[in-house]
Amino acid sequence: MLVDSGASVSILRKDFVDSLVLENRPQVTPVRMNLLTAIGEASEFIGRVNLDIKLGTHVFKHEFLLAEIKDMAILGMDFLMTNSIDVLFSKGCLGIKDEFITCFTNKGDSSCCRISIAETVDIPPDSEMLIKGMPCGPVIFNEVDLVETNKSFIEKTGLLLTRVVVQQNSNTYL
């Protein structure tokens, strides 16, 4: 999903809607509008649908236009403004009420950021555990990353953490 402050409307890719289970598939309403891309090309919108979208812990009902686009979805200014969502470029996240949702980027240089877990976990002695975490800073989405601890963390907590290679979108650990 792409958050695009330059898009005036929110758009879904048609094949995403087509892939939904029939009983969950929204009614597509025809529209007579054209999509004008960032490079000036025009194509017709296929229709519009109303869907619920979940960001963090918040669920929003919103109208999306359907088109043949590269990204699965584009959240445009209509969605951001209607739902009072702040794009915090300096922090690389979206601000929704009291919640901050980390944004990922498809391009960029190597980066380093803290990984946080959402809940307190008790790890018994002499045991291993996989714990889901989220980066607290911008990371390169859809890339293979190395997660490792640092010396001050070990000294402060007494925990030994293994290095793990992960791919953001696949729940794959190597």
Break the chain into its structural domains and give their ranges: 2-102, 115-173
Tell me, what's the pLDDT at 80?
94
Reported for 86-90, long-range contacts at CB under 8 A and 24+ positions apart, including other chains, are 87/3, 87/5
pLDDT tens sequence across 129-173: 777 777 766 666 556 666 777 777 777 777 777 767 666 655 544
Among 70, 113, 69, smallest CA distance to 91 is for 113
Residue 152 CB coordination number (10 Å): 8
CA 91 → CA 65, 101, 135, distances in Å?
A: 29, 10, 12
Tell me, what's the pLDDT at 22?
83
Of 105 and 31, more confident: 31
How far from chain centre, in Å, is Cα 30?
28
Pick the CATH number of 2-102 from 2.40.70.10, 3.90.780.10, 3.20.20.70, 2.40.50.100: 2.40.70.10
Structure-block tokens of residue 60:
């929003």
pLDDT tens sequence across 15-55: 888 888 888 888 889 999 888 776 677 888 999 999 999 98
- Residue 165: strand pairing partners: 146
